[in-house]
Amino acid sequence: MVLAISKPINRPIFPFTAIVGQEEMKLALILNVIDPKIGGVMIMGDRGTGKSTTIRAIADLLPEIESVENDLFNSHPYNPDLMSDYVKETLENGQNLSVTKIKVPMIDLPLGATEDRVCGTIDIEKALTEGIKSFEPGLLAKANRGILYVDEVNLLDDHLVDILLDSAASGWNTVEREGISIRHPANFVLVGSGNPEEGELRPQLLDRFGMHAEIRTVKDPELRVKIVDERSQFDQNPENYLDQYSIDQLNLKNQIKNAQQNLKDIVLPYDLRIKISKVCSELDVDGLRGDIVTNRAAKAFAAYRNSSEVT
């Protein structure tokens, strides 16, 4: 017997619009995909509260993005800040590149990942014998223009934390081995989750996330029953369940897409900018990162609500 598969088989993802409660976490994720420069989300909460499910659901919901075909770094075909050096050189030489649409990458960073797995590796032997820079991309390369998810981020090794923070801040990853250097874009939304009972979060890590959402186990019995029922329906018949939420999913996808397009035109009045900075000053927030993140989040929220001005 021959099994013929006419189209790729994708594992069904629980729909974002079907997730009950946890509004703070959902809004923080939506605002970050509208404006990735907000700086990511740190989600802390109890086990079994839907952290991983929600993060995977938002990635599955996002509109497809344009990318250079067969590019290892998901290079943007028009934005130089989001394309690899090879793609940039190819365009500068007047050559044409094929463009395709891909799903927004959603990359999991496991706790036991090595530095080479995260950053990528250079084939030193090929470089020395053939003079060719051969690079095996890591997770940071695959996460470019997507979401990098770190579960149990409070248990991650210190040196990997430093690598993540450097790449998230600069938007680039540099790999150096034996005097050979390769860099590539690593512009991603950094999403971390963890359980406070399993370890404290390092202050320098918490400071680098633009938003922080704290979630707790639902106590209302009726709401708990509704959550269990929804999950049971999905597990029993994923296709039928996804069909039920297809219109809601499409509406939210279009809302996010429109917000991304309109973000640059959103007006944040001067008096509100003063109010934001005043609050940050009164709270003794170190530096100006708080001011910048709040300004960006306010604009993203206005775009999400289809408003032209922050109110």
9-13, 143-147, 284-288: least confidently modelled range: 9-13
Instruction: Return the HEC string of 110-153.
Output: CCCCCHHHHHEEECHHHHHHHCCCCEEECHHHHCCCCEEEEECH
Residue 27 has pLDDT above 60, yes or no: yes
pLDDT number for residue 3: 47
pLDDT number for residue 238: 86
Q: What value does the mean pLDDT of the chain take?
A: 83
**Sign of CA pseudo-dihedral 218, 223, 225, 230:** negative
The confidence band for 6, taking pLDDT boundaries of 50, 70 and 90, is very low
pLDDT number for residue 275: 92
Q: Select from 297, 300, 234 the least CA-distant residue to 17.
A: 234
The strand pair at 106-108 and 99-102 is best described as unpaired
Tokens representing 268 are 């944040």
The confidence band for 202, taking pLDDT boundaries of 50, 70 and 90, is confident
pLDDT number for residue 128: 58
The confidence band for 104, taking pLDDT boundaries of 50, 70 and 90, is confident
Give the percent of the chain with pLDDT over 90.
11
pLDDT number for residue 4: 46
Any idea what the Cα angle at residue 61 is, between residues 57 and 66, rounded to 5°? 130
Give the percent of the chain with pLDDT over 70.
92
Hey, which residues are catalytic here?
A: 289
pLDDT number for residue 9: 57
DSSP string, 218-242: ---HHHHHHHHHHHHHHHH-HHHHH
Is residue 74 within 8 Å of 105, Cβ to Cβ? yes
User: What's the average model confidence in pLDDT over 195-212?
Assistant: 75
Helix (H) or strand (E) run with residue 41 in it: strand 41-45
169-178, 229-238, 264-273: least confidently modelled range: 169-178
User: What's the average model confidence in pLDDT over 85-102?
Assistant: 82
pTM reported for the whole predicted model: 0.82
pLDDT number for residue 126: 63
Length of the chain: 311
Residue 8 has pLDDT above 60, yes or no: no
Distance CA 234, CA 217 (A): 21
pLDDT number for residue 63: 79
User: For 250-270, what is each residue's pLDDT tens digit?
Assistant: 999 889 989 988 888 889 899
